[in-house]
Structure 1
Amino acid sequence: MKLQKMYHTTDVHVAGEVFRIIHDVPLVHYRSLQQLEEQLPATFSEEMKLLVKEPRGFAGITGCLVVPPVSEEADVAVIFFDHEGTVPVHNAGVAAITTALLENGRLKEKQSSEYLIETVQGIVFASAVMEKEQVVSVIVETGSFTLVKSDIPFLETMYTLVQGEHLYALFDAKEVGAVLELANLSELKEWGRQAVQKLARERAVERVVLMDWAEASKGRVKSVTFREDGWLVRSPGFGSTAACFTSLVGKGEIRSEQRLVNESIFGSFLEANLLQVDGDNRFSIRARGFMTGAQTFILDPTDPLPDGFLLK
């Protein structure tokens, strides 16, 4: 068999969310990361489909194209993408590439443990703790989150709007009558599908979050997040965790100096602390990434599915 294309990747999951790190950089000239991102649909679209869609990927996977930094102060640069196209920034993805590049030796360990990751929306700060050549935790600093409005009517309940890298609508799981357990996944998905469709039309909401905050006073919540395409986020979600924190602080349910642990329906969790930077709600979120495989993907020229597919 004559291989048409071959790609080397490393897969990492962060609290259950999967990232595929691609090491084969498109051979195109670019002066900035933004310019490279603009060229990807023309120069890397086939690879993007091949590596994140089925049968090699799935709708919940995020691709991370790692390239040398353009900025002199950055340690590495990355462009994120999913099955719909490029993604400006992905904080969980920052944790994923920091973990993978440190553990495979492509990123040199620093005594300060601090790393600057260049994205198309600017540089993201990450701090990694290593023990015995393994990354045991990564702290990533988020952008700004703002409480837009609380107690907005929706059918027989209320929700809160929080603006971050997405527009989040947060619902109290108890008021909705939802129990956030894996056994109830089918019911949760159906509720989420309907809520996303309605809110996307009304307010251009991009993420819908069901949150159980019965133990918020103890610094613990449980949540599940639905994307605008109806798929579940496979982790508590960095942005969702920050949005939950913003909502609870705004309502006086937790103190700003508290640490908040956000747990997913399958037991993974993220830890968040509020940072006050120029009056904005910004957060440091701690997670741990785990490498799940180093893979070589190929494209057989006779493969009838070179563009992949998605089952929803």
Structure 2
Amino acid sequence: MKIKTTYTATDVHVAGEAYRIIKDVPFSYYQSLHELNEQFPIIYELEIKLLLNEPRGFAGLNGCLVVPPFRSGADVAVVFFDHDGTVPMQYGGIVAVLTALLESGQLKAKPSAKYNIETVSGIVTVTATLQDDEVKAVALKSEPYQVVKTNVPVSYLDLQAEVAFVQGDHFYAIYDKAGLPFDITIENLSDINQWGKKAIEALGGNHAFSRIILLDHSEKNKGKINTVTFRPDAYIVRSPGFGTLAACSTYLLENGDICADRQIENESIFNAKLIGELSTEVEGVYSFSFSARGFITGIQTYVLDPTDPLSEGFLLK
């Protein structure tokens, strides 16, 4: 085997969502994080394909590039990316990065427990709870969420439903599960996948959504919801989703279906859970507080053999 390029990455999952954190990309000089973010998909196209595509990665893997901070007061700067390029914000990525840096000793623990993470969306201040050098929880706040439209009729084949749209970190289309003949469980994955494809087709090119949520709020009085979230390519997001939780909470709060003074727990199709609560509300614009934990799943060195016929990898969805 010939080795042309090597990269060391730390893999972390947060409520089932996988993040690959890298620090040792080829050095290039940038005047700001925004400039790095803009150039990243072009300059680091090889790294994106090498580290996220199969056979080293998979369709749902997220990337986090950690670099020294550009702005005063920040502890670290992060560029989030996926197979299509950079992403403005990944709440789970914040948790993953902070967990990896603190538990590996690359970032020193602070007595205040507060850390400033520089992103293209601004500096995000989070609180990390450590015990025996292990990160037990990371607390952070969301950006604003707002209901855009409700009761929008959609139809496709035998699907006749109404959808609500919520703007946040993504533009979410929320379907109510009431009336569907299956529950949101892993045993019903085939039915859920078929429903998801119909829901995506029903919206078609009429709405610029970036996430579709199937919401079961039958236990909302207990502070619980169940969701499954689809990307436009019909891939199921593996986490319950910080953004999904915020979008659904915004929708339910705006409808008066849940109380503003209690926590909401969102459970995924495979029983992973995230908890959030309302932080602020001003004229129908909501922000939320989250707490979650990341788990390091591996530290690997990835290599590129120049004779590898699959050097750019592939994706099966």
TM-score band w.r.t. shorter chain: over 0.9
Q: Which moved more, 1:66-75 or 1:194-203?
A: 194-203
Name the structure 2 match of 1:309: 314
CA drift at 1:186: 1.6
Secondary structure at 1:307 match in 2: coil
Name the structure 2 match of 1:238: 242
CA drift at 1:173: 1.3
- For residue 292 of structure 1, the aligned residue among 289, 297, 303 is 297
CA drift at 1:277: 6.1
**Contact 2:146 2:250 (C-alpha < 8 Å) held by counterparts:** yes
Within 5 Å, give how 1:58-97 maps onto structure 2.
58-97=58-97
Secondary structure at 2:36 match in 1: helix
Name the structure 2 match of 1:110: 110
Aligned identity (percent) is: 48
Secondary structure at 1:188 match in 2: helix
CA drift at 1:111: 1.4
Superposed CA deviations along residues 163-215 of structure 1, whole A, max 9, x for unmatched, are 10111111111233341010111221121122123325111111110111111
CA distance, structure 2, for counterparts of residue 193 and residue 212 of structure 1: 18
- For residue 211 of structure 1, the aligned residue among 208, 211, 215 is 215
Paired residue type of 1:287: A
CA distance, structure 1, for counterparts of residue 9 and residue 267 of structure 2: 29
CA distance, structure 1, for counterparts of residue 182 and residue 142 of structure 2: 29
Q: Is the counterpart of residue 272 in structure 1 residue 276 in structure 2?
A: yes
Q: 1:277 to 1:78 in 2, by over 3 A?
A: farther
Task: For structure 1, list consecutive stretches of 5 or more residues without a partner in the other structure.
Answer: none
Name the structure 2 match of 1:120: 120
Paired residue type of 2:140: V
Q: Which moved more, 1:196-205 or 1:132-141?
A: 196-205
CA distance, structure 2, for counterparts of residue 161 and residue 117 of structure 1: 29
CA distance, structure 1, for counterparts of residue 204 and residue 298 of structure 2: 36
Q: Is the counterpart of residue 40 in structure 1 residue 44 in structure 2?
A: no
Q: 1:96 to 1:26 in 2, by over 3 A?
A: same
Q: Which runs of 4+ in 1 moved over 3 A?
A: 277-280
CA drift at 1:152: 1.7
Within 5 Å, give how 1:116-265 maps onto structure 2.
116-155=116-155, 156-265=160-269
Give the TM-score normalised by the residue count of structure 1: 0.97
Q: Which moved more, 1:196-205 or 1:77-86?
A: 196-205
Q: Which moved more, 1:148-157 or 1:211-220?
A: 148-157
Superposed CA deviations along residues 201-255 of structure 1, whole A, max 9, x for unmatched, are 1111111101111110111111110012221110101100000110111111111
Paired residue type of 2:211: R
Q: Which moved more, 1:13-22 or 1:67-76?
A: 67-76
Task: For structure 2, list consecutive stretches of 5 or more residues without a partner in the other structure.
Answer: none
CA drift at 1:101: 0.7
CA distance, structure 2, for counterparts of residue 118 and residue 248 of structure 1: 31
CA distance, structure 2, for counterparts of residue 176 and residue 209 of structure 1: 14
CA drift at 1:20: 0.1
Secondary structure at 1:51 match in 2: helix
Give the TM-score normalised by the residue count of structure 2: 0.95
**Contact 1:220 1:261 (C-alpha < 8 Å) held by counterparts:** yes
Paired residue type of 1:296: T
Q: Is the counterpart of residue 51 in structure 1 residue 56 in structure 2?
A: no
Secondary structure at 1:35 match in 2: helix
Q: Which moved more, 1:269-278 or 1:291-300?
A: 269-278
